[in-house]
Amino acid sequence: MEAYILDAVRTPRARARPGKGALSGLHPQELLAQTLKQLPLRTGVDVADLDDVVVGVVSQIEAQGANLARNALLAAGWPIGIPGFSLNRFCGSGLQALSLAAMGVASGVQHLVVAGGVEQMSRYGLNADGGGTDGGNVDLRRRFFQVPQGISADLIATLEGFTRQELDAFGLRSQQLAARAQAEGRFQRSLFPVTHPQTGEVLLAVDDHPRPDTTAEKLAALTPSFIQLGARPEGPAGETLDELALRAYPRAGAVRHLHTAGTSSGIADGAGAVLVASKDYLRAHGLKPRARVRAVSAVGSDPVLMLTGPAVAARKALDAAGLKPRDIDLWEINEAFAAVVLQTMRALELDLERVNVNGGAIALGHPLGATGSILVGTALDELERRGQSLALVTLCTSGGQAVAAVLERV
């Protein structure tokens, strides 16, 4: 695939607290607009050359509706001739935006595209649009009753035989690595400070979601998050969500509720953007890219177990790139839940030392539509810091899907 990344930028990830979070008072269009404006400042590219702006956003309602992508580029002061559109592949939306940008550029139809994502979860939390996973389709539920992701994560942990101690250890690792990365300035290349649009006051300059004081003892004291949810009667005959999960996977015997707030992704506000260019555009303008998009993929997986797609998506992208898991220097596997990363690592036989080396969404937060584009910048920054070549970014999504991209440092 001949598609190249010129640069990647992101906002800090802020704790999502309605009315109190550092970014909660900013309109989501403005949050993305400030992100977009960083790209020409850093690359010198004339935005009038853009063919499209593709943006992932999950809760496309109210302030995040009305084609946020188009409105954000107008809010950024970019030429009115630039089109934009928003997409929703749940948690994979930001990386799906990159995939579409790379495909458009690689096909020769486009030459310069911005791919990004945004989510302001202070305003619009999980299921804010009211659609859930299946839109309330009773007939679909007779085929697949898609239990909430927390139940799926605990079911995966049960089937894989992960212990509470293993999940807690992974959650602690995420916090410790994120704290080290912040202390060493590893995120600084991609980050920019978000400011108040009228006063210019800096609202947030660094990620404020991590809890560097986390300890194993504090994690062990947390109550599992999804016990009451699993006991909720949601089935057509009054079955609980746990019972519906076990109907699909009776070999589990019982759903062991193991995930806590310390081993689940954090709710956050944030935005990210990636500038993608063709080889012809690079040559014509004398530009040097940071990376090449070697391959992208999207897959469907079991809609009840839901979160096991990353290993499948990774294999598909690796096959397209002619690579094996051992060839990848750095892995960014979105930490939707600790069991997701552990299951993916087990399926692909990955070395922990190459996975999420600067922490992940457990520590840093998961602004749904933005995380995929944010992880692209995180991976590129770390490849450059280490002098390494290949990274793979992958995310699971609600409804049983996953996306992946292989990035090669230039």
Catalytic residue list: 91, 366, 396
Question: How far apart are alpha carbons 22 and 77 in whole angstroms?
Answer: 24
Distances (CA, A) of 299 to 144, 151, 154, 190, 394: 17, 21, 22, 28, 11
Q: Are 290 and 410 contacting, i.e. CB atoms less than 8 angstroms apart? A: yes
Report the sign of the C-alpha dihedral through residues 141, 144, 145, 146, in that order: negative
At 371, which helix (H) or strand (E)? helix 371-386
Residues 6+ apart with CB under 8 A from 342: 160, 162, 166, 167, 170
Distances (CA, A) of 216 to 15, 153, 257, 352: 22, 21, 18, 19
Partnered with residue 299 across adjacent β-strands are: 402
DSSP string covering 233-247? B-STTS-BHHHHHHH
Q: Angle 149-160/338-348 helices, nearest 10 degrees?
A: 40
Q: Is 300 helix (H, G, I), strand (E, B) or coil?
A: strand
